[in-house]
Amino acid sequence: MFYGAMKLSIGGTLKLAFRPWVEGLENIPKEGPAILASNHLSFSDSFFFPAVLDRKVTFIAKAEYFTSPGVKGKLTAAFFKGVGQLPVDRSGGRGAGEAAVRSGIQVLERGELFGIYPEGTRSPDGRLYRGKPGGLARVALATGAPVIPVAMIDTEKVQPPGKLVPNLVRPGIRIGKPLDFSRYHGMDGDRFILRSVTDEVMYEIMKLSGQEYVDIYATVAKKQIAEAAKQKAEEEKAADKASGKSAGSGRFRKRGGSGT
């Protein structure tokens, strides 16, 4: 009931204000389990995509959305719980990964739609990054559910990272044809098969989105970008400090010259 109410209120408002366009909606089955594997450009992806679907979709969401302190944190947690989203600990550890896989399997066993972002986190620069095989592929092979690739378009322009008030940019959603991995059923313990399945899904997402593909994990890219920004800031600080010293020594020489 809460999901339906939120879909009508928030979903209706989003569709009215942003008018998202959709291609391939017929590829979503009207009933039965399916995995919706999407690229991830913005926090708003988890709002725009469900808004255009007739069926409920359950995503796994980072645990911080459920545990953040303060009034805003409590409201965020209440929203995600209300719409049936599942918390997953992204800090690492085998136990966290196993919990996410089990949650996904349970959703599919109920005959519902399970949404997942194979990159594991938002793209830091709009490019498509390597998919993580531990969640998507394992859930697909354990359940035999079809995997439907999805491309979110321009949602990073609607709500760039760190920006609270969205821009009125029209986003898009492109939904591909279902992928059948039943030929690998029961092979979810083979890491080479998991990698192959994940790469095939990412390739289809790349074709749908038109994004440049980068064969590293987005988490690694974020660290590299953060380290590069830190190094640049330190270099600029050192340059400013050196410039200040140079200017100071110049003034000293000038004073000394005028006194002789």
**C-alpha dihedral sign at 105, 107, 110, 111:** negative
User: Which residue among 197, 214, 231 closes a domain?
Assistant: 214
CA distance 36 to 218: 19
pLDDT-derived band at 254 (thresholds 50, 70, 90) equals low
In this structure, are 100 and 228 located in the same domain? Answer: no
CA distance 234 to 7: 47
Give residue 229's domain range.
Answer: 217-260
Prediction pTM value:
0.83
**130: Cα within 13 Å, side-chain hemisphere:** 14
In this structure, are 204 and 239 located in the same domain? Answer: no
Question: Of residues 32 and 91, which shows the higher confidence score?
Answer: 32
In this structure, are 168 and 228 located in the same domain? Answer: no
Most confident of 148-152, 160-164, 234-238, 256-260: 148-152
What proportion of the chain, given as a percentage, has pLDDT over 70?
80
User: Which residue among 177, 197, 214 closes a domain?
Assistant: 214
CA distance 40 to 124: 10
CATH of the domain at 203: 3.40.1130.10
In this structure, are 260 and 178 located in the same domain? Answer: no
Question: Of residues 9 and 156, which shows the higher confidence score?
Answer: 156
pLDDT attached to residue 40: 95
- Overall domain count for the chain: 2
Q: Which two tokens stand for residue 226?
A: 């953060």
In this structure, are 192 and 228 located in the same domain? Answer: no
Cα–Cα distances (Å) from 95 to 71, 138, 139, 158, 228, in that order, read 30, 15, 15, 35, 32
User: Which residue among 178, 193, 214 closes a domain?
Assistant: 214
- At 195-214, the pLDDT tens digits run 999 999 999 999 999 999 99
- At 220-230, the pLDDT tens digits run 999 999 999 89
Mean pLDDT within 40-45: 90
pLDDT at residue 250 above 90?
A: no
pLDDT-derived band at 243 (thresholds 50, 70, 90) equals confident
In this structure, are 208 and 233 located in the same domain? Answer: no
Q: Which of 29, 61, 18, 38 is nearest to 152 (CA)?
A: 38
pLDDT, averaged across the chain: 86
pLDDT attached to residue 92: 55
pLDDT attached to residue 87: 72
In this structure, are 170 and 258 located in the same domain? Answer: no
In this structure, are 175 and 225 located in the same domain? Answer: no
pLDDT attached to residue 260: 44
In this structure, are 134 and 240 located in the same domain? Answer: no
- At 53-75, the pLDDT tens digits run 999 999 877 777 676 777 767 76
Q: Which two tokens stand for residue 225?
A: 């970008």
In this structure, are 121 and 30 located in the same domain? Answer: yes
In this structure, are 95 and 179 located in the same domain? Answer: yes
Mean pLDDT within 163-182: 92
pLDDT at residue 93 above 60?
A: no
In this structure, are 156 and 197 located in the same domain? Answer: yes
